[in-house]
Chains A and B, each alone.
Chain A
Amino acid sequence: MGYQISSYCRIYNSKLWLNGKQSLISNVEPERLADKLFEELELFYPKFYKMDKISKLGLVASEMVLKGHNLPSLDSMAMILSNCSSCDITDQHYWELSKNRPSPSVFVYTLPNIVIGEICIRHNIRGETLFFITPDFSATHLHNQVIMMMNYSSVACLAGWIEVQSENVDILLYLVSEVNNEKRLAHSKKNIQKLYELWKS
Protein backbone atom coordinates (compact mmCIF):
# COMPACT_ATOMS: atom_id res chain seq x y z
CA MET A 1 0.00 0.00 0.00
CA GLY A 2 1.46 3.38 -0.98
CA TYR A 3 0.98 6.58 0.93
CA GLN A 4 1.04 10.18 -0.21
CA ILE A 5 1.57 13.56 1.40
CA SER A 6 -1.82 15.10 0.63
CA SER A 7 -0.96 18.55 1.93
CA TYR A 8 1.68 20.28 3.99
CA CYS A 9 2.49 23.48 5.79
CA ARG A 10 6.00 24.64 6.58
CA ILE A 11 6.54 27.61 8.87
CA TYR A 12 10.05 28.83 9.52
CA ASN A 13 9.98 32.05 11.51
CA SER A 14 8.33 34.59 9.21
CA LYS A 15 8.29 32.34 6.13
CA LEU A 16 5.38 30.13 5.21
CA TRP A 17 5.07 27.44 2.56
CA LEU A 18 1.66 25.92 1.96
CA ASN A 19 1.38 23.15 -0.63
CA GLY A 20 4.09 24.56 -2.85
CA LYS A 21 3.29 28.23 -2.46
CA GLN A 22 5.56 30.44 -0.42
CA SER A 23 4.51 33.59 1.34
CA LEU A 24 6.14 35.94 3.73
CA ILE A 25 4.38 36.77 6.96
CA SER A 26 5.40 40.40 7.09
CA ASN A 27 5.47 42.97 9.85
CA VAL A 28 5.05 40.55 12.67
CA GLU A 29 7.02 40.01 15.86
CA PRO A 30 7.78 36.34 16.66
CA GLU A 31 5.47 36.63 19.68
CA ARG A 32 2.57 37.70 17.43
CA LEU A 33 3.07 35.17 14.64
CA ALA A 34 0.35 32.72 15.73
CA ASP A 35 -2.20 35.49 16.34
CA LYS A 36 -1.41 37.04 12.96
CA LEU A 37 -1.95 33.74 11.12
CA PHE A 38 -5.14 33.12 13.11
CA GLU A 39 -6.48 36.53 12.09
CA GLU A 40 -5.63 35.90 8.45
CA LEU A 41 -7.50 32.59 8.53
CA GLU A 42 -10.57 34.50 9.82
CA LEU A 43 -11.55 31.78 12.26
CA PHE A 44 -13.93 32.17 15.18
CA TYR A 45 -12.51 29.98 17.91
CA PRO A 46 -12.31 31.91 21.22
CA LYS A 47 -10.39 29.09 22.92
CA PHE A 48 -7.42 29.94 20.68
CA TYR A 49 -6.53 32.96 22.81
CA LYS A 50 -6.20 30.80 25.93
CA MET A 51 -3.63 28.49 24.38
CA ASP A 52 0.12 28.56 24.78
CA LYS A 53 2.32 29.48 21.82
CA ILE A 54 2.96 25.86 20.75
CA SER A 55 -0.73 24.95 20.70
CA LYS A 56 -1.65 28.17 18.89
CA LEU A 57 0.89 27.53 16.14
CA GLY A 58 -0.02 23.85 15.91
CA LEU A 59 -3.67 24.78 15.59
CA VAL A 60 -3.20 27.36 12.81
CA ALA A 61 -0.87 24.97 10.94
CA SER A 62 -3.47 22.19 11.22
CA GLU A 63 -6.16 24.53 9.90
CA MET A 64 -4.08 25.21 6.80
CA VAL A 65 -3.15 21.56 6.23
CA LEU A 66 -6.64 20.12 6.72
CA LYS A 67 -8.56 22.87 4.92
CA GLY A 68 -10.55 21.47 2.02
CA HIS A 69 -9.80 17.84 2.82
CA ASN A 70 -12.64 15.41 3.16
CA LEU A 71 -11.24 13.22 5.87
CA PRO A 72 -12.61 9.69 5.59
CA SER A 73 -12.98 8.75 9.23
CA LEU A 74 -11.92 10.86 12.16
CA ASP A 75 -12.06 7.76 14.40
CA SER A 76 -9.10 6.31 12.53
CA MET A 77 -7.16 9.46 11.84
CA ALA A 78 -3.88 9.48 13.73
CA MET A 79 -1.49 12.22 14.74
CA ILE A 80 2.27 12.02 15.33
CA LEU A 81 4.20 15.11 16.31
CA SER A 82 7.72 15.64 17.57
CA ASN A 83 10.12 18.35 18.63
CA CYS A 84 13.33 18.77 20.60
CA SER A 85 12.45 21.38 23.23
CA SER A 86 9.27 19.79 24.57
CA CYS A 87 7.17 22.65 25.97
CA ASP A 88 10.13 24.40 27.55
CA ILE A 89 8.88 27.86 26.54
CA THR A 90 5.58 27.28 28.36
CA ASP A 91 7.31 25.74 31.38
CA GLN A 92 9.45 28.86 31.70
CA HIS A 93 6.43 31.11 31.29
CA TYR A 94 4.61 29.23 34.04
CA TRP A 95 7.69 29.38 36.29
CA GLU A 96 7.91 33.16 35.87
CA LEU A 97 4.18 33.61 36.54
CA SER A 98 4.24 31.38 39.60
CA LYS A 99 6.65 33.76 41.34
CA ASN A 100 3.76 36.21 41.52
CA ARG A 101 0.49 34.47 40.72
CA PRO A 102 0.33 30.80 39.66
CA SER A 103 -1.91 30.42 36.65
CA PRO A 104 -3.93 27.19 36.31
CA SER A 105 -4.69 27.99 32.67
CA VAL A 106 -0.97 28.23 31.84
CA PHE A 107 -0.17 25.17 33.95
CA VAL A 108 -2.42 22.94 31.83
CA TYR A 109 -0.16 23.60 28.84
CA THR A 110 3.00 22.41 30.60
CA LEU A 111 2.99 19.10 28.73
CA PRO A 112 4.27 18.87 25.13
CA ASN A 113 1.43 16.67 23.86
CA ILE A 114 -1.27 19.20 24.76
CA VAL A 115 -0.92 20.64 21.25
CA ILE A 116 -2.14 17.28 19.94
CA GLY A 117 -5.16 17.45 22.24
CA GLU A 118 -6.03 20.96 21.08
CA ILE A 119 -5.82 19.95 17.40
CA CYS A 120 -7.94 16.84 18.11
CA ILE A 121 -10.61 18.91 19.88
CA ARG A 122 -10.69 21.49 17.10
CA HIS A 123 -11.04 18.95 14.27
CA ASN A 124 -12.80 16.20 16.22
CA ILE A 125 -9.95 13.77 15.50
CA ARG A 126 -10.31 10.61 17.58
CA GLY A 127 -7.56 8.26 16.41
CA GLU A 128 -4.23 7.21 17.95
CA THR A 129 -1.73 9.92 18.85
CA LEU A 130 1.97 10.05 19.69
CA PHE A 131 4.34 12.85 20.66
CA PHE A 132 8.11 12.29 20.49
CA ILE A 133 10.88 14.42 21.90
CA THR A 134 13.96 13.77 19.77
CA PRO A 135 17.40 15.46 19.66
CA ASP A 136 16.81 16.83 16.13
CA PHE A 137 14.34 16.74 13.27
CA SER A 138 14.42 13.25 11.78
CA ALA A 139 12.58 12.51 8.54
CA THR A 140 13.41 8.84 9.01
CA HIS A 141 11.89 8.69 12.47
CA LEU A 142 8.71 10.49 11.45
CA HIS A 143 8.38 8.40 8.29
CA ASN A 144 8.78 5.12 10.15
CA GLN A 145 6.34 6.06 12.90
CA VAL A 146 3.71 7.17 10.37
CA ILE A 147 4.10 3.94 8.37
CA MET A 148 3.64 1.93 11.57
CA MET A 149 0.53 3.91 12.46
CA MET A 150 -0.94 3.67 8.96
CA ASN A 151 -0.29 -0.06 8.76
CA TYR A 152 -1.76 -0.58 12.19
CA SER A 153 -5.19 0.99 11.97
CA SER A 154 -5.22 4.49 10.57
CA VAL A 155 -6.62 5.79 7.30
CA ALA A 156 -4.80 9.11 7.55
CA CYS A 157 -2.16 10.66 9.77
CA LEU A 158 -1.34 14.25 10.57
CA ALA A 159 2.37 14.32 11.27
CA GLY A 160 5.27 16.63 11.70
CA TRP A 161 7.75 18.66 13.66
CA ILE A 162 6.66 21.52 15.90
CA GLU A 163 9.62 23.21 17.50
CA VAL A 164 8.75 26.52 19.14
CA GLN A 165 11.06 28.73 21.16
CA SER A 166 10.70 32.35 22.20
CA GLU A 167 12.35 33.77 19.07
CA ASN A 168 12.23 30.82 16.69
CA VAL A 169 9.41 28.90 15.07
CA ASP A 170 10.22 25.75 13.10
CA ILE A 171 7.15 23.79 12.02
CA LEU A 172 6.46 21.18 9.39
CA LEU A 173 3.00 19.66 9.45
CA TYR A 174 1.69 17.31 6.78
CA LEU A 175 -1.20 15.01 6.09
CA VAL A 176 -0.49 11.44 5.02
CA SER A 177 -3.14 9.29 3.38
CA GLU A 178 -3.42 6.38 0.98
CA VAL A 179 -2.48 7.24 -2.59
CA ASN A 180 -5.48 8.61 -4.46
CA ASN A 181 -3.72 11.11 -6.70
CA GLU A 182 -0.47 10.30 -8.47
CA LYS A 183 0.38 14.01 -8.68
CA ARG A 184 0.74 14.28 -4.90
CA LEU A 185 4.12 13.91 -3.21
CA ALA A 186 4.91 10.33 -2.27
CA HIS A 187 5.26 9.75 1.46
CA SER A 188 8.99 9.07 1.56
CA LYS A 189 11.88 10.00 3.83
CA LYS A 190 13.42 11.97 0.96
CA ASN A 191 10.30 14.07 0.40
CA ILE A 192 9.79 14.73 4.10
CA GLN A 193 13.41 15.91 4.33
CA LYS A 194 12.89 18.06 1.22
CA LEU A 195 9.86 19.75 2.79
CA TYR A 196 11.73 20.34 6.01
CA GLU A 197 14.60 21.95 4.08
CA LEU A 198 12.33 24.41 2.29
CA TRP A 199 13.60 27.03 4.71
CA LYS A 200 16.93 26.93 2.93
CA SER A 201 15.32 28.05 -0.33
Chain B
Amino acid sequence: MEILKAKLKSQVIQVLNLKHLAVEDIDDNQPLFGEGLGLDSIDALELVVLLQKEYNITIPNAGEGIKIFGSIQSMAEYITQQKNKV
Protein backbone atom coordinates (compact mmCIF):
# COMPACT_ATOMS: atom_id res chain seq x y z
CA MET B 1 0.00 0.00 0.00
CA GLU B 2 2.85 2.44 0.81
CA ILE B 3 4.40 1.91 -2.62
CA LEU B 4 1.03 2.43 -4.27
CA LYS B 5 0.43 5.66 -2.34
CA ALA B 6 3.85 7.04 -3.31
CA LYS B 7 3.19 6.14 -6.93
CA LEU B 8 -0.24 7.79 -6.80
CA LYS B 9 1.20 11.01 -5.38
CA SER B 10 3.74 11.12 -8.17
CA GLN B 11 1.07 10.45 -10.79
CA VAL B 12 -1.29 13.07 -9.35
CA ILE B 13 1.48 15.69 -9.43
CA GLN B 14 2.37 14.81 -12.99
CA VAL B 15 -1.14 14.47 -14.41
CA LEU B 16 -2.47 17.60 -12.71
CA ASN B 17 0.67 19.70 -13.32
CA LEU B 18 1.11 20.47 -9.62
CA LYS B 19 4.64 21.71 -10.22
CA HIS B 20 4.74 23.62 -6.96
CA LEU B 21 4.43 20.35 -5.01
CA ALA B 22 6.73 17.39 -4.31
CA VAL B 23 5.62 13.89 -3.35
CA GLU B 24 6.56 14.54 0.29
CA ASP B 25 4.32 17.63 0.39
CA ILE B 26 1.19 15.50 0.09
CA ASP B 27 -0.03 13.73 3.24
CA ASP B 28 -1.83 10.42 2.80
CA ASN B 29 -5.01 11.73 4.42
CA GLN B 30 -4.88 15.31 3.18
CA PRO B 31 -8.12 16.22 1.35
CA LEU B 32 -7.45 16.50 -2.39
CA PHE B 33 -10.26 19.00 -2.97
CA GLY B 34 -11.35 22.19 -1.23
CA GLU B 35 -9.13 23.26 1.64
CA GLY B 36 -6.58 20.49 0.99
CA LEU B 37 -4.76 20.52 -2.33
CA GLY B 38 -7.40 22.80 -3.80
CA LEU B 39 -8.19 20.63 -6.81
CA ASP B 40 -11.20 21.52 -8.99
CA SER B 41 -13.83 19.70 -11.06
CA ILE B 42 -11.56 19.43 -14.12
CA ASP B 43 -8.91 17.84 -11.91
CA ALA B 44 -11.54 15.33 -10.78
CA LEU B 45 -12.07 14.32 -14.41
CA GLU B 46 -8.32 13.91 -14.85
CA LEU B 47 -8.25 11.58 -11.82
CA VAL B 48 -11.07 9.50 -13.33
CA VAL B 49 -9.04 9.19 -16.55
CA LEU B 50 -5.92 8.34 -14.51
CA LEU B 51 -7.67 5.41 -12.80
CA GLN B 52 -9.02 4.16 -16.12
CA LYS B 53 -5.77 4.45 -18.01
CA GLU B 54 -3.20 3.43 -15.41
CA TYR B 55 -5.20 0.98 -13.27
CA ASN B 56 -7.95 -0.13 -15.65
CA ILE B 57 -10.55 0.86 -13.09
CA THR B 58 -13.80 2.59 -13.94
CA ILE B 59 -16.06 4.28 -11.45
CA PRO B 60 -19.58 3.13 -12.26
CA ASN B 61 -21.35 5.47 -9.87
CA ALA B 62 -20.35 9.16 -10.05
CA GLY B 63 -21.54 9.64 -6.46
CA GLU B 64 -18.77 7.32 -5.27
CA GLY B 65 -16.15 9.67 -6.69
CA ILE B 66 -16.37 12.08 -3.76
CA LYS B 67 -15.40 9.29 -1.37
CA ILE B 68 -12.80 7.64 -3.63
CA PHE B 69 -11.01 10.88 -4.49
CA GLY B 70 -11.14 12.20 -0.96
CA SER B 71 -7.44 11.61 -0.37
CA ILE B 72 -4.47 9.58 -1.56
CA GLN B 73 -5.32 7.06 1.19
CA SER B 74 -8.88 6.57 -0.08
CA MET B 75 -7.72 6.31 -3.70
CA ALA B 76 -5.14 3.66 -2.76
CA GLU B 77 -7.70 1.70 -0.75
CA TYR B 78 -10.17 1.75 -3.63
CA ILE B 79 -7.54 0.60 -6.16
CA THR B 80 -6.42 -2.22 -3.83
CA GLN B 81 -10.02 -3.28 -3.25
CA GLN B 82 -10.76 -3.37 -6.99
CA LYS B 83 -7.57 -5.32 -7.78
CA ASN B 84 -8.43 -7.87 -5.10
CA LYS B 85 -11.83 -8.44 -6.71
CA VAL B 86 -10.23 -9.58 -9.95
Q: Is B53 a contact of A104 with CB atoms below 8 Å?
A: no
**Are B20 and A105 in contact (CB-based, < 8 A)?**
no
A167-185 with Cβ < 8 A to chain B: none
Given contacts A104-B42, A105-B42, contact A50 B17 (CB under 8 A): yes
A-B pairs with beta carbons under 8 A, tally: 27
If A102-B49, A103-B49, A104-B49 touch, does A49 touch B19 (CB 8 Å cutoff)?
A: yes
Contact status B17-A49, CB under 8 Å: yes
User: Which residues does chain B contribute within 8 Å of A108, judged by CB atoms?
Assistant: 42
* Residue B43 CB within 8 A of the other chain: yes
Chain B residues near A44 (CB-CB < 8 A): 20
A49:B42 contact, CB within 8 angstroms: no
Give the docked Cα–Cα distance between A46 and B49 (Å).
Answer: 22
Give me 24 A-to-B residue pairs in the complex whose CB atoms sit less than 8 angstroms apart, sorted by A's number.
Answer: A44-B20, A46-B18, A46-B19, A46-B20, A46-B38, A49-B17, A49-B18, A49-B19, A49-B20, A50-B16, A50-B17, A101-B49, A101-B53, A102-B49, A103-B46, A103-B49, A104-B42, A104-B45, A105-B16, A105-B17, A105-B42, A105-B43, A105-B46, A108-B42
Write the residues of chain B forming the contact surface with A, with a CB cutoff of 8 angstroms.
Answer: 16-20, 38, 42-43, 45-46, 49, 53
